[in-house]
Amino acid sequence: MEEQVYPHLYRIEKEHWWYATRLGILMHFLEKHMDLSRRIRSLDVGCGTGAAMEMFSRRFEAYGLDPSPHAIEFCRQRGLTNLFLGDLAGYPAGERFDLVTFLDVLEHVEDDRGALLAAHKLLGDGGKLLITVPAFPSLWSPLDVMLHHKRRYTPGQLREVVTSAGFLIRHLTYFNTLLFPVALVRRVASRATHTETMGDLEIPGRALNTILRKIFELEKPLIPKVSFPFGLSLLCWAEKTSESPTGRSPS
């Protein structure tokens, strides 16, 4: 990700309809799928400016890592601790977590399977994995380039890389489904008129931002139990298996 994006994200993450609503949806999902009556240690991989980690810290013993010093500094500005500057390969050996999250991170990683193999080692028996990634390769845009994305995923691609890294998928669904038709029309129109912009990272007017947020929030009670047939993003919920995967990439 371009370094200049971090201060922008830090400013908008709690107000922008997509970022703010996504956080609420993900926390609701975890509340439905995890036993929150016990102590949970979570690791947010690629924690960015810390909005998700800050949310997790209210319920979990939350940890975060990011390779960007700028990102870690913004996390500290939120009052967060338990931070690690670097990548999963360099994370202190012997640590064990109940939950590892890759929230719109895996698409930035060249070796996505290698990252999941490293997460597998950090999870305790029965540990959980939560992933969100952008969907539909056909929706690739200049924004993906600016954010240093390596790919957008299909369900099959995500399923293959997760299972080959030693995880059993419990739930896989598209989300941000209700607004998908609008986004598709907007993307096609912008390509036809050569007017693609980075406007997705800007907060729209207050009224529009509120409307988009309320529409997106309609998916919150459904995502934990429904598999949507399409959407702008994919969500994968998986569990570490007892079998240790090999270090080789799938052929």
Neighbours of 19 (CB within 10 A): 17
Whether 251 shows a pLDDT value over 50: the answer reads no
Q: Which residues of 41-66 are buried (b: 16+ CB within 10 A; e: fewer)?
A: bbbbbbbbbbbbbbbbbeebebbbbb
pLDDT reported for residue 142? 77
pLDDT reported for residue 40? 96
151 in a domain, yes or no? yes
124 in a domain, yes or no? yes
Domain count, the chain: 1
73 in a domain, yes or no? yes
Q: Which of 16-20, 41-45, 136-140, 241-245 has the lowest mean pLDDT?
A: 241-245
Domain containing 125 equals: 5-240
Higher per-residue pLDDT: 46 or 247: 46
CATH number, residue 33: 3.40.50.150
pLDDT reported for residue 5? 80
196 in a domain, yes or no? yes
29 in a domain, yes or no? yes
Whether 59 shows a pLDDT value over 90: the answer reads yes
Give the tens place of pLDDT for each residue, 159-200: 999 999 999 999 999 999 999 988 787 676 666 555 555 566
87 in a domain, yes or no? yes
Give the pLDDT band (50/70/90) at residue 52. very high
pLDDT reported for residue 249? 43
Quickly list H helices, the chain: 5-12, 17-33, 51-56, 69-77, 112-122, 142-146, 155-164, 180-193, 206-217
pLDDT reported for residue 190? 62
Q: Which of 89-98, 138-147, 221-230 has the lowest mean pLDDT?
A: 138-147
Model confidence, pTM: 0.91
Give the tens place of pLDDT for each residue, 26-35: 999 999 999 9
27 in a domain, yes or no? yes
Quick one: average pLDDT of 201-227? 94
Q: Which residues of 210-221 are buried (b: 16+ CB within 10 A; e: fewer)?
A: eebbeebbebbe
pLDDT reported for residue 129? 98
Count of alpha carbons within 13 angstroms of residue 81, beta-carbon side: 1
166 in a domain, yes or no? yes
